[in-house]
Amino acid sequence: MKEVSCMLSGITAQTLGRYQEATRMVEETMSRLASGTADLGSGDKIRVGRINNTIHTLQAAHKVVKQNQDLLESALAGTDAITAVVNKMKEVATEAQDDQLTSNQRQALMDEYNELAKEIDYVAKNTEYDGTELIDGTFGTKSFIIDGVSVDQSVSVELGDLTWSGLQLGGYTDDQGIIVVTSKLDTVTDAQDAVARLEASLATLEGERSNQLAKIERFDFTISHMERMISINEESIASINDFDEASEMAKLTSYRIEQQTAIALMAQAQQLSANVLHLLQG
């Protein structure tokens, strides 16, 4: 009697363990079905963590590059505005080279020229990005680091002085120490000098614009590459985390069958134990 009882108790305990394990697996599978999250192994979890680190590095670098591209586009907008003003001033100065102008006509051209000169400084001193003045001569050269997955890259941005004096349209002292007065249209000779200086300033502006545009276009490629790399890595994570609902449903069915089987076995063991006890007592 004792041996039979021990045997039945062992069967019941073993079956109970199977039932508890099946129940745990049912709960985990139902949780995954509810959340739509795949059950990753340790290797896949390490891969996901590594890829996420790559994505975060690329996203941080993308932000830095985009900010500097926006800065350059702001500078380019200011440069283009000043270029338009200087072109207009050149038209006025060219007209002022006419020695047949009346004093009133020349004065009108001088007034227009002087007002346009003020606009150059206004634009130069009010072209900024995130509180930083860009083309008033205070920016100079600034470097920033583009973090890479394997190698970092240092990039420099240089912006010139596009103010009235920075373009040498105002008064300045040249390399030989000679004082050059501000450009004006008081006489035909003054107008001729102004045209020459305006043409030189237009060349300076074109050089600035070319440098700015070259960096902007380079950053276009950098940003496009980073966005593609981010997308590829996100797709990789999605692939690793791909949730196979059909497979999970099949597992759930299997675990529930194990549950039911264990319940049936425990019931049979209990019934057998009762029958044996009844026979022995009879």
The pLDDT value recorded for residue 29 is 67
The pLDDT value recorded for residue 6 is 59
pLDDT, greater one: 251 or 127: 127
Give the mean pLDDT of the chain. Answer: 86
Instruction: Look at the pTM and tell me if it is higher than 0.85.
Output: no
Determine the structural domain holding residue 228 and report its residue range: 67-240
What percent of the chain has a predicted confidence (pLDDT) above 90? 57
Asked whether residue 45 is domain-assigned, the answer is no
Query: Per-residue confidence at 151, pLDDT binned at 50, 70, 90?
Result: confident
Q: Do 75 and 116 share a domain, yes or no? A: yes
The pLDDT value recorded for residue 171 is 80
Q: Do 130 and 217 share a domain, yes or no? A: yes
The pLDDT value recorded for residue 176 is 78
| 3-class secondary-structure state, position 69 | helix
Asked whether residue 61 is domain-assigned, the answer is no
Q: Do 224 and 107 share a domain, yes or no? A: yes
pLDDT tens across 192-210, in order? 999 999 999 999 999 999 9
pLDDT, mean of residues 94-108: 96
Q: What angle do CA 228, 233, 237 make, to 5 degrees?
A: 145
Q: Do 141 and 266 share a domain, yes or no? A: no
Asked whether residue 47 is domain-assigned, the answer is no
Q: Do 149 and 100 share a domain, yes or no? A: yes
Report d(CA 30, CA 174) in Å as an integer: 81
Q: Do 25 and 155 share a domain, yes or no? A: no
CATH of the domain at 138: 1.20.1330.10
**Of the candidates 156, 151, 121, 153, the residue with the CA atom closest to the CA atom of residue 135:** 121
Q: Which residues of 31-69 are buried (b: 16+ CB within 10 A; e: fewer)?
A: ebeeeeeeeeeeeeeeeeeebeebbebbeebbeebeebb
Report whether pLDDT(32) > 70.
no
Q: Do 210 and 262 share a domain, yes or no? A: no
Q: Do 233 and 101 share a domain, yes or no? A: yes
